[in-house]
Amino acid sequence: MAGWSHVTSTARRELVLAILLTAVLVPSLLVAASNISEYLSLYRAVAGVDVAVSDVRVVEEGGAYTVLVALSITNPSDMNIKVVGVTGHVRLGGKYLGVLSFRGWPEVIGAGSYNVTVVGELRVPPRLVRFVERALREGMRWEIYGWATFGVRGQTLMVEYRARV
């Protein structure tokens, strides 16, 4: 090793170790940076997605009540997003009524889509019928809240919605 005679063996080992670590760590860091970059682009795509309560209705049939909630989903991004699931909860006048059941949402919401409607329903338990009747007469406020879960390029992201009507 011409030119290395003045370097101690410990210093040589440290230099070789530093070169090996650099050779191993730099590609790992580049992969991590590209993953972060991809996640940020996915976040930007879904960050513009809006989920809002557009309508709340109560249907009465033979003494049984059903609460219908329409959600409006807007996807202004340039990516199609897959709807993985929608969940929601209903409170009336501060009292918890139950979980909304959503069925039939679109599998994919196209890029630039506005006001895609998804409807959820809740059958009011018989023990709460009198409360609901009184609450409707008194004009108590509804609180609707939940999450819509979207898939973009294998990643799952959730968007929360909340409304007082």
pLDDT tens string 8-58: 677 777 777 777 767 766 676 666 556 666 666 666 666 678 899 999 999
The residue type at 59: V
Is the pTM here over 0.75, yes or no?
no
> 32 and 68 share a domain?
no
Closest to 134 in 3D by CA, of 89, 95, 162: 95
Domain that holds residue 60: 49-164
Give the C-alpha separation, 155 to 161, whole Å.
20
Q: How many domains does the chain have?
A: 2
- The answer on 157 and 92 residing in a single domain is yes
Same-domain pairing of 60 and 132: yes
